[in-house]
Amino acid sequence: MARSALQMSFLIFFIGYFFGMMSLKLVLDRRTGTSQHQVLLRKHSQTSISLPEPIVDDEDPVEVPQQSDPEPRTAPAAQSPVLELEHTAPTATGDSSTRTFPAPFRELKCPADHTLQTSKAERAQVVYNKRAVEGCEGKGIWTKYSKPEHKHIVRSIAKTIDPKPGHFIFDWGCGCGHKLTWLHETHEILGLGVDVSDVSIGYANSKAPPNLHFCVADGTNLTWIPANTFDHAMSYGSIYHLPRGLQCKAMEEILRIVKPGGIIVNAFCYASDSPKEVWRACMPEFERKWHLTWTFMNNWKFTGIRKYSKQTYATIIHKHPNSTHPFFVA
């Protein structure tokens, strides 16, 4: 009996001691402001935890940061950007008869007949003429990108073709002429742009510096331009507007008028309207005329702007210096 009483006393003592210590700990925690959660965090922080790298889906759209434009490498003196000039209403005629081509290309003349061959091109002309009335004075007739993004695209193109002062650059589907104008301001290039939108071309010529010229023209018929005229060429978000059967014809014309050693950038190609199979079908015919290297990449990798990245790609074609056309002599 006495033994049972002693055991009970010890049990009561230990229970009282336990609850007493817990009460004391709670009082101390309240005074120091330390919680049990904080104690656990402190405990885990003493050990090194290796976390996996975050998984980034390259196809997710991500806006390009709105950063200020770098200083031009060789900007001409007292030259204002085309978008900052005093507004001059674009004309609907796209008449460039009052302007001459930059020397030494004065022999070039815009085609008198620029009748479009397809109804798809005619529909594009109507759409972009409407956009040009208001858009040319703003960020352009292309609503997919902001003005800073458009300039970022131009920097990507310049990085690829590496234009030098005096280089003659061709822009297929030039719109309001902004891209050539920015290249002129930063690299002192000469330039010629063609587009189906006569309103856009009227605006471009009204704003263009003397070293740039713009023509309303059918981009699948450039016979009015001699072979090996341009150092490089570019087309951004334009050729896919053509029916698939004419896209190869347009690219063949561009390849013909670019000098050996030149680079052609055809970016923002919608895969649905201009699948890579179109170009792969053209390659054998083109390779019989010129020595070419083709590079395909996701459009966001080319521009750094992850917009429409699942639907678009860029094509970069290098026309090697030993390229010759069997029917033309440089």
For residue 76, the model assigns a pLDDT of 37
**What's the mean pLDDT in 248-259?**
97
Q: Which two tokens stand for residue 160?
A: 């690829």
Which has the minimum average pLDDT: 26-40, 49-63, 227-241, 249-263? 49-63
Q: What are 68-104's pLDDT values in tens digits?
A: 443 433 333 333 233 222 223 334 444 444 556 666 5
In terms of average pLDDT, the best of 60-64, 84-88, 117-121, 266-270 is 266-270
Give, to the nearest 10 degrees, the angle between helix 119-135 and helix 198-207.
Answer: 40
User: What gap in Å lies between CA 75 and CA 55, rounded to an integer?
Assistant: 41
Query: Which is more confident, 173 or 117?
Result: 173
The share of the chain scoring above pLDDT 70, in percent, equals 60
**What is the full DSSP assignment across 187-211?**
H--EEEEEES-HHHHHHHHHH--TT
Give the three-state DSSP class for 286: helix
**What's the mean pLDDT in 305-318?**
88
Q: Whole-model pTM?
A: 0.67
Give the three-state DSSP class for 12: helix
**Average pLDDT in the chain:** 74
Helix, strand, coil shares of the chain, percent, nearest 5, are 40, 15, 45
Helix (H), strand (E) counts: the chain: 9, 7
* Strand (E) or helix (H) holding 244: helix 244-257
**235 pLDDT higher than 90:** yes
Which residue is it, tokens 């678009």? 312
**What is the full DSSP assignment across 32-51?**
HT--HHHHHHHHHHTS---P
User: What gap in Å lies between CA 205 and CA 91, rounded to an integer?
Assistant: 10
